Amino acid sequence: MENSDTMIAIVNDSQYLGNGMWKWQVWIEGPPEELRKVLSVRYILHPTFKNPFRLVKEESTKFKLSAFGWGEFNLKAEILMKDNTKLMRSHYLKLKAEEKPNILNLKPIKMPYQDFKKLLKQGIEEWNIQRKKSPNQQFDISRIKLNRMDLGGIDLSNCVLKRSEMVDSNLNGAILEGTNFYRSGLAGSSFENANLRYADLESAGLENVKLCGADLSNSNLSGANLIDANLSGANLEGADLSKALLIRTNLTGAILKDCRVFGISAWELKLSNTIQKDLSISHEDEGNITVDNLEIAQFIYLLLNNAKIRDVIDTVTSKAVLILGRFTNKRKIILEALKEELRKKGYVPILFDFDPSRKRDLTESVQLLANMSKFVIADLSEAKSIPQELSSIVPHLPSVPVQPILLTSEKEYSMFEHWKKYDCALDIFYYNNKNHLIHNLSECVIKPVECWKSRKEENNSIKMENVNLKKELLEIKKKLSITTH
């Protein structure tokens, strides 16, 4: 049932990103008592969108939908009320650039360095009083040096501070809305709880900067150096982070929504309790692609746009061979020879001869490498770590065959008998010495693996055929049932 009496309307705003691309948001407005009755909104966009039907259930945002595009169009919204009635609305999406707050396009007034210094000597409060007398005026204080200064709470909104130096300074709680810090050096400074909405921080040096709780919504951080910066609890909604350096950056509890992240370099980020949503990985002149994870953004882009990366992934999963064994000097000669021979046969050998990562234990490291491999060769000779390594592979990765090998003069370790009941654990190949192993590698190691894989694929194919046959029989039964009735 449709409800046409409810006083709910659709509204939108937009932001121009350059090169014909816009970011826009659409949501519903109306009396609070009416909005509380809404369960969800299903937006119907222009058919050129990859997914023109978008369902939004977030009541706290007034069912806001954010997207990117290049043209205006008429959208529709199907509003589902909590009493199961429906409300249909249409809205013409207008793309109009939102001006930065408090800027009336006045020509910036150049303020000499000494004049600004004099005002600062009178105290931050006095400067802020003078600033409030002309809040819409831009002051150009570019190339100023304010290193190691206490500027907490200062109002520099809409000021131009291009190529300035503000190293190791205190700007906690500062009002920097619309401030231009283009290519400024701000390393080590503190901007905790500062207002940096619409600030231009393009190519700024923000190494080791504290931006905890800062409002950076709709700011321009493209090309910024944020190495070791602390942005915990910061609001980065709508920010442009394209080509930014985020290495060991702390984003704990930060808000990352509707951000542009094309070309970022992201390594060892702290993302505990971080809100990540609709992060655009596309270049300005490409169709918009979004992800919800900053750390995988650069990988997904490379995967989509670099055929070599796809080839590498295909190579690893189809040709990688994990070699496990005892890496004493005597044993390593044999394993190195095995690796070299596998390489000659077109495989990509991975020798597990390193300490596990600080971030994962031995089991995780072995499982990760085995899961990437076509098969595993496990040398049981002088077994030491092998029992633990196999216990992390055999019972957990049934699709990865394990080919055990063993010196003829030795016995398998007692626990190995347990793994023989698993289908992926193949029969042991006993070798006399290095030359004997290499000479029989194709026939006694690789061939059993290939036969096992062929048999596995054949069994999987039969299973799929049986599933399809069952589905067909069910369909026939349904048709017969309908016919008899």
CA distance 81 to 396: 47
Mean pLDDT for the stretch of residues 398-422: 89
Nearest to 253 by CA among 232, 230, 267, 239: 232
Give residue 147's identity as a one-letter amino acid code.
Answer: N
Strands 245-247 and 73-81: unpaired
CA angle 195, 264, 231 (to 5 degrees): 30
Query: Does residue 379 carry a pLDDT above 70?
Result: yes
CA distance 459 to 374: 18
Mean pLDDT for the stretch of residues 124-136: 81
Residue that wins the pLDDT comparison between 384 and 172: 172
pLDDT at res. 2:
46
Locate the domains of the chain by residue range: 9-93, 104-305, 313-435
The mean pLDDT value of the chain amounts to: 85
Q: Do residues 251 and 294 lie in contact, with contact meaning Cβ atoms separated by under 8 Å?
A: yes
Q: Where are the beta strands (DSSP E) in 268-319?
A: 275-277, 279-280, 290-291
Residues 313-370: pLDDT tens digits? 666 667 889 998 877 778 888 888 998 999 899 888 888 765 444 444 567 778 888 8
pLDDT at res. 466:
81
Residue 15's Cβ-side half-sphere holds a number of Cα atoms within 13 Å equal to 19
* 379 phi and psi angles, rounded to 5 deg: -85, 110
Q: Do residues 322 and 338 lie in contact, with contact meaning Cβ atoms separated by under 8 Å?
A: no
- CA dihedral angle for residue 282, residue 287, residue 293, residue 299, rounded to 10 degrees: -60
Give CATH superfamily name and number for 9-93.
YEATS domain (2.60.40.1970)
With 0.85 as the threshold, say if the pTM is over it: no
What is the number of helices (H) and of strands (E) in the chain? 11, 20
Structure tokens at 94: 């207008």
Q: Is 329 left (phi over 0), alpha (psi -120 to 50) or beta?
A: alpha
Query: Does residue 180 carry a pLDDT above 80?
Result: yes
Residue 447: band (very low, low, confident or very high) from pLDDT cuts 50, 70, 90: very high
* Residue in this structure with the two tokens 């095995």, named with its chain if needed: 338
* 359 phi and psi angles, rounded to 5 deg: -95, -10
Residue 308: band (very low, low, confident or very high) from pLDDT cuts 50, 70, 90: low
Please give the C-alpha separations between residue 126 and each of 118, 222, 351, in angstroms, as whole numbers.
11, 34, 68
Options 1.10.3720.10, 3.40.190.10, 3.30.60.50, 2.160.20.80; CATH of 104-305? 2.160.20.80
pLDDT at res. 401:
94
Options 3.40.50.360, 1.10.260.40, 1.20.1260.10, 3.40.640.10; CATH of 313-435? 3.40.50.360
pLDDT at res. 99:
46
